[in-house]
Amino acid sequence: MAQALVRALAAQRTVVDGIEAPLFGGVFAIFGHGNVAGLGQALAAARESLPTFRAHNEQAMGHAAVAFAKASRRRRMMACTTSIGPGATNLVTAAATAHVNRLPVLLLPGDVFASRAPDPVLQQLEDFGQPAVTANDCLGPVSRFFDRIWRPEQLVEALPAALGVLTDPADCGPATLALPQDVQAEAFDFPADLFARRVHAPRRPRPDRAELSRAATVLSGARRPLAVAGGGVHYSDACAEIADFASRRGIPVAETQAGKGALVWDHPLLAGAIGVTGSAAANELAREADVILCVGTRLSDFTTASRTLFEDPGVRRIGLNVAAFDARKHGSLPLVADAREALGELDAALGSWRAPEEWTARARRGIAEWNGVVDRVTAPGGAAGPLTDAQVLGAVNRASRPEDVVVCAAGGLPGELHKLWRTRAPGGYHAEYGYSCMGYEIAGGLGVRMARGGVGEVLVLVGDGSYLMMSSEIATSVAMGCKLTIVLCDNRGFGCIHRLQRATGGEPFRNLLSGPPIDLVSHARSLGASAVGVRSISELEGALAVARDRAVSSVIVVETDPQRGTEAGGAWWEVGIPEVSESPEAKRAREHHERMKERQR
């Protein structure tokens, strides 16, 4: 069965920019009991047709697979295989990351014996009342598709079903096939067509005529329209289309974390980031807009400022999304379709309509003012003491080139990057902020590098908190020759949550580290990277230049201030603040919380 699975996976193909390529870039594997004898032997025999890569942590290899799929615009993907116990449960966080971000990854954890002959086998989870439950059932809620192959012939139906989910633009997400270890090794006369070459071309559903007509009517009646670009713009290859649509129609565009980079930073109508970590320009336009064209976004709380951002009492939303589930959110008028197809047809349906010139001109003024703010806060100078995250990312941004890509995830850095990073080309910004998963950054950088080959630099920005959670894939990047440039901002703890703790009325408590400093430079060197510590912007700029010329992964450690973030821009975010507290600060925070709750729609 394992041999059949591997052979079938190797036969899957896809189309990327008009060129046919393998659907699966390979398989990440950490072998143990439960997958080494069955699937492990099958992969070893098929190494030329389906390469296998070894990581150092199952969660990390899952994150690398997620990043590979994201950087490949969901056209290509990876599989991950683990042993039956902690290896399998280590995949849960990565699966949740893929699920939230609607990204494809095939998970192949080993499982118990279907025969139950040796029960309880090593690492087996025993449910006293449900003998069929195994540790892999943890993956059910975080998988778009889940099946356990109790008999080898079940693969004939299960694998195509999993592939259908992995390649579906609306239902896309992680698929899990749990593989009992005895079944992996069983023989069966599989039908020959299971191994036939299959090309998975992206499906592009066109809009319903009635939905398109209603959307065009609402948008053509707008006096203050705003478009919001989400990740679906990238996955649909619709970046050029939304940029042209904005220019022709005079509509300003704001970007979510997943949508950032849909327009290059100096497009005249790019208002920048929207929401909690948004620009002043985008958020001011959002507050006044009477029609919001939501393109490929799931409208998370960070995008909508916990449903307080769109303040016009009569505001209408058009949900242009390939997934009907997302298209209807917030009472939106659904336009269920592929973004690229629908933007073209919507543009044709609008005739000669353009947004009022005074609205377009106002947007341009706000954009110019915001660009001045970005220049100021990312400039090398500033107050004495540790550098700010904004100053660090400003230096990295200036040193980057259009073909480079920046990678980030949890903590304060994604918020700063969302506001301040200037993306010069689509695909140049890679943030995992749907699940905001600490530990994603370096593993994600590895996946991005594997997807991009030798194109450009992969610039990973990570805080010391995330680094200490999961830095093991530095060693994997060195072993594989997948060069990363990692800028490690050391603020001695969880600085982002420390600031949130203080902003919500809490006292400083267990977020910043005490005790002697950790030698992060030596740690990175021990994993095989070139590493250096810097203390100024000029030293950082010099280290970035040296890192670009190196063939091996580099880690640049820079001390940053945990207290200072960029105050400009931004919007409210709802978090739970106690109704009862003896703290005056907490009482004031609660009062503000209640005022903002009144503005939620």
* Region of 467 on the Ramachandran plot (φ > 0 left; ψ -120 to 50 alpha; else beta): alpha
Span 324-333, average pLDDT: 97
User: Tokens 């072993």 identify what position?
Assistant: 479
Residue 195's Cβ-side half-sphere holds a number of Cα atoms within 13 Å equal to: 12
For the segment 506-513, the average pLDDT, to the nearest whole number, is 92
Q: Which residues contact 207 (CB under 8 A, 6 or more apart)?
A: 215, 335, 336, 337, 341, 342, 345, 346
Task: Work out the burial of residue 542: count CB atoms within 10 Å of its CB; fewer than 13 is exposed, 13-18 middle, 19 or more buried.
Answer: middle
Q: Give the phi and the psi of residue 365 in degrees, each rounded to 5.
A: -65, -45
* pLDDT of 601 above 90: no
Residue 275: which region, alpha, beta or left (left: phi > 0; alpha: psi -120 to 50)?
left
Mean residue pLDDT across the chain: 97
Q: How far apart are CA 417 and CA 256, in angstroms?
A: 12
Residue 569 has pLDDT above 80, yes or no: yes
| φ, ψ of residue 82 in degrees (nearest 5) | -140, 175
The reported pLDDT for the residue numbered 580 is: 96
Predicted confidence (pLDDT) at residue 515 exceeds the cutoff of 90: no
Structure letter (DSSP) for residue 388: P
188-207 confidence digits (pLDDT tens): 999 999 999 999 998 999 99
Letter string b/e over residues 425-446, b meaning 16 or more CB atoms within 10 A of that residue's CB? bbbbbbbbbbbbbbbbbbbbbb
Tens of pLDDT, residues 361-377: 999 999 999 999 999 99
Euclidean distance between CA atoms 601 and 593, whole angstroms: 15
pLDDT more than 70, % of the chain: 100
At residue 228, does pLDDT exceed 80? yes
Q: CA-CA distance, 286 to 280, in Å (whole number)?
A: 10
For residue 585, pLDDT over 70 is answered with yes
Residue 258: predicted pLDDT: 98
The pLDDT value recorded for residue 86 is 96
Question: In CATH, what number does 209-370 get?
Answer: 3.40.50.1220
Residue 385: its pLDDT value, please?
A: 74
Q: For the chain, give the percent of residues with pLDDT over 90.
A: 97
Q: What is the mean pLDDT of residues 474-497?
A: 96
Local confidence band at 384 (pLDDT 50, 70, 90 cut-offs): low
CATH of domain 2-200: 3.40.50.970
CB atoms within 10 A of CB 505: 20
pLDDT of residue 382: 60
pLDDT single digits (tens) 240-296: 999 999 999 999 999 999 999 999 999 999 999 999 999 999 999 999 999 999 999
**429 residue type, one letter:** Y
Regarding the domain delimited by 378-559, which CATH topology (the fold level of the hierarchy) does it fall under?
Rossmann fold (3.40.50)
> What are the pLDDT digits (tens) for 44-69?
999 999 999 999 999 999 999 999 99
Per-residue pLDDT of 429-459, as tens digits, reads 999 999 999 999 999 999 999 999 999 999 9
Q: Give the torsion through C-alpha atoms of 40, 140, 410, 471, to 10 deg.
A: -20
Beta pairing class for 19-22 and 12-16? antiparallel
Is 513 a residue whose pLDDT tops 90?
no
Q: Look at residue 130 and tell me whether its pLDDT is greater than 90.
A: yes
Region 544-556: mean pLDDT is: 98
pLDDT over 90 at 514, yes or no: no
Question: Identical fold at 2-200 and 209-370?
Answer: yes
Asked if residues 318 and 337 have their Cβ atoms less than 8 Å apart, the reply is: no
Question: How much is the pTM?
Answer: 0.97
Which residue, 435, 443, 446, 445, is CA-closest to 101? 435
* Least confident interval from 15-19, 297-301, 345-349, 542-546: 15-19
* Cα separation values, 358 from 244, 250, 362, 363, Å: 20, 10, 6, 9
**511 DSSP assignment:** S
| pLDDT of the residue at 135 | 96
Q: How is 200-256 classified by DSSP, letter by letter?
A: EPPP-PPPPHHHHHHHHHHHHT-SSEEEEE-HHHHHTT-HHHHHHHHHHHT--EEE-
Domain ranges of the chain: 2-200, 209-370, 378-559
Whether a cis peptide bond, with omega within 30° of 0, leads into 578 is no
> How far apart, in Å, are the Cα atoms of 68 and each of 74, 296, 402, 509?
8, 20, 19, 37
Look at residue 35 and tell me whether its pLDDT is greater than 90: yes
pLDDT, tens digit, 9 for 90 and up, residues 403-428: 999 999 999 999 999 999 999 999 99
- H-helix or E-strand spanning residue 104: none
Quickly state the pLDDT bin for 383 (edges 50, 70, 90). Answer: low
As given in the structure block, the two tokens for residue 187 are 């023989």
Q: Is residue 266 within 8 Å of residue 334, measured between CB atoms? A: no
Per-residue pLDDT at 225 exceeds 90: yes
The residue count of the chain comes to 601
d(CA 141, CA 139): 6
